[in-house]
Amino acid sequence: MSVHDLLKEYIETGRIKLDKSKHPELTTYHDPCNYGRKSERTFGHGYYEEPRWIVQQCVENFVDTYPTKVNNYCCGAGGGAWAMPYAEERIYYGRVKVKQIKDTGAEMLIAPCHNCRDQIMKSLRQEYDMMDLEVKYLWELVADSLVIEGVDE
Amino acid sequence: MQSEPLVLSKREKRKLAGEYPDLCLTCGTCAGGCPVTGVDGMDMRKAVRMALLGLDQELIDSRFPWICTLCARCEHGCPMSIDLLKMMRSARTHRERDKVPGVLHKGVVQCLKSGNNVGIPKEDYLFLLEDLGVELAEELPGFRVPVDDKGARILVTINSKEPFAEPEDMFFWWKIFYAAKESWTTTSENWEGVNWGLFTGDDESMKEVVRRIVEHYKSLECEYLLLPE
């Protein structure tokens, strides 16, 4: 089961409750290659719509990148590049992603992939002067938006 | 540099499994859309020409199959639907294991040996889960981390990066499971969800790591498997 299917199921069936007023900032989404193009090619379904829907249940203002979905650019750390010694090339690769993100004007970026999140949060932000950008996992955003019965009420 | 003409007929049979590279129209769509075109004077179109001309070993020995992130934009755009990723990953497969760049192959070996890519011992792992569980229970009354719970609805793998370096990042999913009153479990052994054989082109190791997860899934009688990668 994909993380997207599970989170969507929780939200749609009311098993979890979310408060989007916790995230008023303009937010964008990064399509990981594995959940998008490669999932589409391998399993016949690319996860493009589900994560965008989930994000929009957690934030008030959403903006997409250009290009998007199947035509979106890789963060630059795919294929194991995050764990390879070619840091200079990895950062150079990421310049395209950085431009896409900056062009949206978003203050927060959501990524449902460990590699993508680390590349953007721990490397590209520093290298390309965008430390003001907040980067979260998709499930981190959901966890931060939760209203838990008996705990928050 | 090569001073003699390349005699293609004398070269060994093509190793790279790229399917139908002979259909390439040399249009350059692949190279035109790729952020690392030009690095080392290489690009995807040249890589296809190399495979086609029998320069397999030159491609295998080059950095390009590893600088390429296998993102599949080129393959998506290719008008002839050439299986470019298969070709590039296959070039990685043919790289001698001790020449795989960085820590990736070491991680694969470590995973086969210890059950996770960074070699966290079972006792340390279980101690960490219990300790973090107690911490989270202060915020979420009654919370605990289920380990090897038979009959749980969802089997969850763990990215070893988290117990190794960012343990509190595991709280995100745990909070969601708690809020959803989910029946889930992790395992005490072979819990690694990051399969680096995918990146190193090592199908045998990759299958073994998957086999172990499927074994848990069956023996614990879970309904779903969740790999939060």
What is the average pLDDT value for chain B, to the nearest integer?
A: 94
Residue B3 lies in a domain: no
Q: Which residues share a beta bridge with B156? A: B226
CA A12/CA A10 separation, integer angstroms: 6
DSSP class of residue B10 equals G
The residue of chain A with its CA nearest to that of B228 is: A3
Residue B206 lies in a domain: yes
CA B145/CA B127 separation, integer angstroms: 11
> Is the minimum CB–CB distance between A153 and chain B shorter than 8 Å?
no
The residue of chain A with its CA nearest to that of B177 is: A16
Residue B4 lies in a domain: no
Domains of chain A in start order, with CATH, are 3-8+24-147 (3.40.50)
Residue B29 lies in a domain: yes
Q: Based on the domain organization, do B50 and B155 belong to the same domain?
A: no
pLDDT of residue A19: 98
Alpha helices in A13-79 (DSSP H): 37-43, 49-58
Q: Do the chains contact at A15 and B225, CB–CB below 8 Å?
A: no
Q: Based on the domain organization, do B79 and B156 belong to the same domain?
A: no
- In total, chain A counts a number of residues equal to 153
Enclosing domain of residue B209: 104-226
> Is the minimum CB–CB distance between B224 and chain A shorter than 8 Å?
yes
Residue B214 lies in a domain: yes
Residue B1 lies in a domain: no
Q: Based on the domain organization, do B22 and B40 belong to the same domain?
A: yes
pLDDT of residue B226: 97
Please report residues of B whose CB lies closer than 8 A to that of A92. 35-36, 39
| Domain count along chain B | 2
ipTM: 0.97
pLDDT at residue A105 above 90? Answer: yes
Please report residues of B whose CB lies closer than 8 A to that of A81. 66-67, 69
Instruction: Output the six-digit token pair for A110.
Output: 């959501």
pLDDT of residue B3: 74
Is the separation of the CB atoms in A70 and B51 below 8 Å? no
pLDDT at residue B9 above 80? Answer: no
> In A49-81, which positions are buried (b, 16+ CB within 10 angstroms) versus exposed (e)?
ebbbebbebbbeebeebeebbbebbbbbbbbbb
Task: Give the mean model confidence (pLDDT) for residues A109-134.
Answer: 98
Closest to B170 measured CA to CA, from B210, B224, B130, B122: B130
How do residues A42-89 score in pLDDT, each as one tens digit? 999 999 999 999 999 999 999 999 999 999 999 999 999 999 999 999
Nearest chain B CA: its distance from A113 CA (Å)? 5
What is the average pLDDT value for chain A, to the nearest integer?
A: 97
Is the separation of the CB atoms in B227 and A2 below 8 Å? no
CA B117/CA B114 separation, integer angstroms: 8
How do residues B187-226 score in pLDDT, each as one tens digit? 999 999 999 999 999 999 999 999 999 999 999 999 999 9
pLDDT of residue A49: 98
Portion 2-21 of B in contact with A at CB < 8 A: none
Distances (CA, A) of B201 to A42, A67, A92, B103: 17, 29, 24, 14
Q: Based on the domain organization, do B169 and B62 belong to the same domain?
A: no
Nearest chain A CA: its distance from B224 CA (Å)? 6
Q: Based on the domain organization, do B87 and B46 belong to the same domain?
A: yes
Q: Based on the domain organization, do B89 and B55 belong to the same domain?
A: yes
